[in-house]
Amino acid sequence: GQNIDQPTEMTATEGAIVQINCTYQTSGFNGLFWYQQHAGEAPTFLSYNVLDGLEEKGRFSSFLSRSKGYSYLLLKELQMKDSASYLCAVRDAGKSTFGDGTTLTVKP
Amino acid sequence: DTEVTQTPKHLVMGMTNKKSLKCEQHMGHRAMYWYKQKAKKPPELMFVYSYEKLSINESVPSRFSPECPNSSLLNLHLHALQPEDSALYLCASSQESGQGLIQYFGAGTRLSVL
């Protein structure tokens, strides 16, 4: 089975940097994804890691360590619009399993 | 074009009604998915179609019946639903490998069962 853990809530200040962690225990592994979901909207893709290391995409970076079953999403220069739920998802055997998500609140 | 289109956006139905949710993508993706999402919870996978064949059914009750008429369309037929089935139903699509595993989600259908 799949077990994916993320913090439930985080709060950060506009302009700051925040790191959202995700740990997983899965029977197989074929990639880890981060999605952003604003309230009432569909999830949108942020990043994808399948090999160890850091993937950078603008203000967003994602890191993966397969041996540790660990990933993080790093958000820099936080903006108010970054307030959303951030979902970690692990792909295995043709499907993705989502963590419960981390609700990030960005304050002025 | 990375758009997945779902209709209707909102649906209210009684427990004896029959209705269908529709999903369409024109990205040439060969995998399509139905998810159910309750408030403040992550999406839960219901069905996966790969090359128009049902490849995963996550033990979903038979009152939900998926259909994939062609590679661009995915339907979810609803019959005799229960109030606890009220949720946001999300459709997604993806390629089959590598970076193509990225799923693109539609905006969802918000379903209320009375």
Cβ neighbours of residue A40 closer than 8 Å, sequence gap 6 or more: none
Put simply, the answer to whether B43 touches A94 (Cβ < 8 Å) is: no
> How far apart are the CA of B43 and the nearest CA of chain A, in angstroms?
7
Which pLDDT belongs to residue B97? 55
A7 touches chain B (CB under 8 A): no
Cα dihedral B2, B88, B76, A94 in deg (nearest 10): 60
Closest by Cβ to B50, choosing from A48, A94, A99: A94
- C-alpha B75/C-alpha B91 separation (Å) is 9
Cβ of residue A45 closer than 8 Å to a chain B Cβ: yes
Task: Identify the pLDDT of residue B32.
Answer: 94
Average pLDDT over residues B1-25: 92
CB contact under 8 A, A48 and B102: yes
Question: Looking at the predicted structure, is the pLDDT value of residue A22 above 90?
Answer: yes
Helix/strand/coil percentages in chain A, nearest 5? 5, 60, 35
pLDDT at B6 over 80: yes
